[in-house]
Chains A and B, each alone.
Chain A
Amino acid sequence: MTYLIIAYVFAVGLLGGFLVWSLRTLRELDRR
C-alpha cells in the first residue's frame, strides 16, 4: 500500500506542479 501511495503522490505532484508552473509562466508572458 505504501508504494501505491508514494507512486500516486509523486505522479500528482509532478503532473500537477508542471501544469501549475506552465499556467503561471503563460500568464506572466501574456501580461508582458
Chain B
Amino acid sequence: MRVTRYEGAAAGAVALMVLAFGAIFFHAPTDWLQGPVQRIFYLHVSSAIAAYGCFAAVLLGGLVFLRNESYAADRWARAGALVGVIFTTVTLVMGSLWAKKVWGQFWVWDARLTSTLVLWIIYSGYLLVRRLAEPGRQAARIGALVGIFGFVDVPVVHFSVTWWVTQHPGPVVVNDALPPEMLATFLFTMLCTIVLAAVLVVIRYRIETLRDAKQVLVEPAKVVSAHQPEPVR
C-alpha cells in the first residue's frame, strides 16, 4: 500500500508529538507546588494557541471569500474551524481536569473559562451551519460572516486574564515565571502542536476539496434547474 504525502506528513507530526511528550514527562522538572498535575500545562496552553491559529485561518478564509468569492478560501475556513474546535476541546477538557486537582472543582464561571466555552460554541455553531445549510454561495457567505465576527472572541479569551480578575492564572510565559527547562519544554511542545494543527488543516482542506468536486459531479441537475425556462404561452 502506497503511503501518500499526507500520511507522511501525519507520521512526521506524530513523531514530533512523541518527542514533545518525552520532553513533558522526562525533561521538564516537577512543579514543587502543584506536583505532577502541572504537566497538563504544556499541552493545555499549546492546544489553545494552535486553536487561535486555526480560527485565524477561518477569519482569513472568510475575508478572502467575501472579497474574491474564492471557494478555496472557503475550504481553508471550513478546515480551520473543525481543527480549531478539536484543539479547543482539548484545551477545555485538560483545563477542567487540572482545575479539579488544584481548585477542587472542574469549572468556575470566570472570564477566561467562560470566553473559551463561548469560543467553542461559536465555531461549533459555524460547523453546524455549514453542515445543515445547502452547500453553495449562500452557505459560504453566512459561514464567512460567522467566522469573521466569531474571531472577535479570540482576543477576548487571550486578554481576559489581564482585563478582568479571574481564578484562572495570568500569563506565565511572557512574565518570565517559568524556569528555563519548563520554558524550553513549553516552547518545543507548542511548536510540535502547531505543526500537528497545520498538518490536520491541510488534510481537512484536501478532504473538503475532494468533497466539493464530488458535489459538482453528483449534483449538476441543481445548477441546471436554477435557470427556469420561460413558460410557453
A interface list, Cβ under 8 A from B: 1, 3-4, 6-8, 10-11, 14-16, 18-19, 22-23, 25-27, 29-30, 32
* Chain B residues with CB under 8 A of A7: 40, 43-44, 93-94, 97-98
A-B CB contact pairs (8 Å), 24 listed: A1-B36, A1-B37, A3-B97, A3-B98, A3-B100, A7-B94, A7-B97, A8-B40, A10-B90, A11-B90, A14-B86, A15-B86, A15-B90, A15-B196, A19-B196, A19-B200, A23-B10, A23-B203, A26-B6, A26-B203, A26-B206, A26-B207, A27-B4, A30-B210
Cβ distance A14 to chain B, nearest Cβ, rounded Å: 6
- If over half of A's interface residues share one DSSP class (helix, strand or loop), that class is named, otherwise mixed; here it is helix
Q: Is B47 an interface residue (CB 8 A)?
A: yes
Q: Is B67 an interface residue (CB 8 A)?
A: no
- The answer on a CB contact under 8 Å between A25 and B200 is no
